[in-house]
Every structure is written in structure tokens, then in C-alpha cells.
Chain A
């Protein structure tokens, strides 16, 4: 674990760079982590991030299939918003733990 100042806030990160405490998250922190991942956040990104944060807060697991049925984006749009490894990147930017899902 390490601490890092992101967007003026000192946050705790795990070894993989995921935030340890989701309640520390702000939109500005999200934007800065996204920039490190090479992503410029749009309204659509924020809408999906909010959906992800709500799901995680409710204790539900995240899958690409589930996000594709979120009503916010379909699976293809999700890959478009967070290119490469979307589930990993989106959760990192949303300040929630890395998902353990295989699907």
C-alpha cells in the first residue's frame, strides 16, 4: 500500500494502483487517474462510473455482460470508452476495487 496525492487529495492506493477507500473518490481524482491511463473523461464516462460505483456500493459483482446491460452503454461502447482492459481501467478510475470476475 502507498499514499499518493491525486487532484490535491491524499489517497491510499494498493500495489496495483487501485484506491483502498472508495469514499475518498472525487470526480477530479477520477479524471486524473484516467489521464494516467490515457483517457479523457466525458459525460458518458462519468455516467458509467456512477453506475459502477453504485453497483459496488450495493455489494454487487461487476461483469462486462452486466455493464453491457446497464442501460448506460452496451458492451461495444464500454470497450470504446475504456480501450484495452475496460473492466480493470473503469474500476481503477472509479476508485473501486479491481473486480475478480472471469467473465
Chain B
């Protein structure tokens, strides 16, 4: 028999493996949005995504100006990949993006993490990637709850209405 019962989303696990501004913020916006709606949210940062929760790197995130077909000049003209490779261009574009986000009241990464945990969301780091990049818990932002294995992550996926999203 077909079951048409709708199960509302109760818990979401978001995995972020990249350090681009847009990848990190997709995770943060979705995580914070879940917490705002009363949905249990757990954010898991792995590989280059660790930059987003590493004290030394979190305020220096960049967006890629090379190999990014969505990249355009102000005004909408195409952004030549060659130009994107010139020194300083990526830094300038990233600075501009951060300014645009700030204008929309989107917080910087550390404040965003604090907003998420204020609402009961939890932030985790991947143990394997931490070992690979030779990082310790002390290198991470204070809002990071724990360094966990993939097995620990799956254990958190119990209960109906749980989803995993890889951003």
C-alpha cells in the first residue's frame, strides 16, 4: 500500500568540503536557516571546508576567479579567466563579495557560527581531514563542538525526518 504521509524535516546534517566563500556560506545559510525554523542542525566541515572553522583561515576565505563560469564583471560582461589569474584579482573580487554580503546583513563566518550555536545548532570537524592537514582542536574556532569520525556522523543521523546534504 502506498504511504502518502508527509514527514516534516526534523534534523539536517550539512557537510561542507570546500573553502570557497560561496560553498561555506551555502552551508552556513542553510544551517542557520534550519535552526531558525526549529530544525535540529549539525554542520560537518571536512577537507578544505575546515578553513571555514580554522581560526587562522576563517576570515580569509576567497571565491575562485579562475575556472568559475558564473564569474562576471560588474555590469554583467564576461570575466576572462586570464584576468582572474592575475595577482590580487581574486583578493579584490573576494573583498567585493564580502562587502556585498555585509550590505545584506550577512554576518562574517565567526559571527555566523555563533548565531547557529546560539540557536542550538552544532559544529563538527572531520577527524581524518584534521589529521591530514595536521590541525588540532586548538586551531579551531571555539564554537566547534567536537572532532568526529564519519562513523560518529552517521550515528547522528537517527530518527525519522533526517536528511544529509553535501553542499
Contacts and interface: CB of A to CB of B under 8 A. Distances in A.
Interface in B1-54: 29, 32-33, 36-38
A79 B118 contact: yes
Interface residues on B, range: 10 to 19
Interface majority SS on A: helix, strand, loop or mixed? Answer: helix
B165 to A, nearest CB: 16
A58 interface: no
A102 B29 contact: yes
B114 A75 contact: yes
A65 B115 contact: yes
A85 B36 contact: yes
Interface residues of A, number: 19
Given A65-B111, A66-B105, A103-B106, A79 B33 contact: no
Interface of B: 29, 32-33, 36-38, 104-107, 111, 114-115, 118-120
Interface of A: 61, 63-66, 68, 74-76, 78-79, 83-88, 102-103
